[in-house]
Structure formats: structure tokens, C-alpha cells
Amino acid sequence: MTEILRITTREFWEKAVALGEFRSDDLAAEGFIHCSTPEQLSYVYGKFYQGQSGLVVLRIDPEKLQSPLVWENPHETLRLFPHVYGPIQPAAVVDVVPIEDMISKET
């Protein structure tokens, strides 16, 4: 399984589970949920989430997604990022890991 990742807060994830789907602000604003590969996680964390507390990483199985997954180069970074065009169902999330555990694995 090639997984994709999404950083969020534990509180936001728990609310999403209760609602039956994960919808983010970026889905509402841009029409898709920004995700990353394991190799891109440190970059995304450093650029958008550094210094925030209570963060977790959703480990998502793309084969379990009900919404379309599209690989795109949003900022001409020469890297393709996974974007989920719709909500993420909790069944597609195979694990929820504290961000510190994921970042420390990379170093």
C-alpha cells in the first residue's frame, strides 16, 4: 500500500469521525484536501504547521478513498502532491499517529 498523509489536530479528527467524514477548510476553499507523501511530510509540517500543538498525522489508504485522488503540482515545486477531491471517510484512515512520532522517524 502506498499511503498518503494528512496533518490535522486530534480534536478535528475526532469530530470528523463523529460526523462520518473528514472535511477540511482547504476542501471548502479550494475544492480538495491537501495531503502529502511520507517523503513530503517534513516539508509540509515545516511550511504550514510548525509550532502548532495537538497535531496528528492521518495515514490514508488511497485504495479505500471514496473521493477522487489527483496528483498535482500546485506551486510549480517540481513535486506532485496528492489532493483528495472530496471528503475522506474514516474507513480510509488506517492509522492516526502523533506528528512527533512521524517526524522523528524521518531523522
pLDDT of the chain, 107 residues: tens digit per residue? 589 999 999 999 999 999 999 999 999 999 999 999 999 999 999 999 999 999 999 999 999 999 999 999 877 767 899 999 999 999 999 999 999 999 865 44
- What does the alpha-carbon distance between residue 88 and residue 11 come to, in Å, rounded to a whole number? 16
- What does the alpha-carbon distance between residue 105 and residue 76 come to, in Å, rounded to a whole number? 28
Domains defined for the chain, CATH in brackets: 4-106 (3.20.170.20)
Write down the pTM of the prediction: 0.92
Looking at residue 104, its pLDDT comes to: 63
Half-sphere exposure at residue 27, Cβ-oriented, CA atoms within 13 angstroms: 15
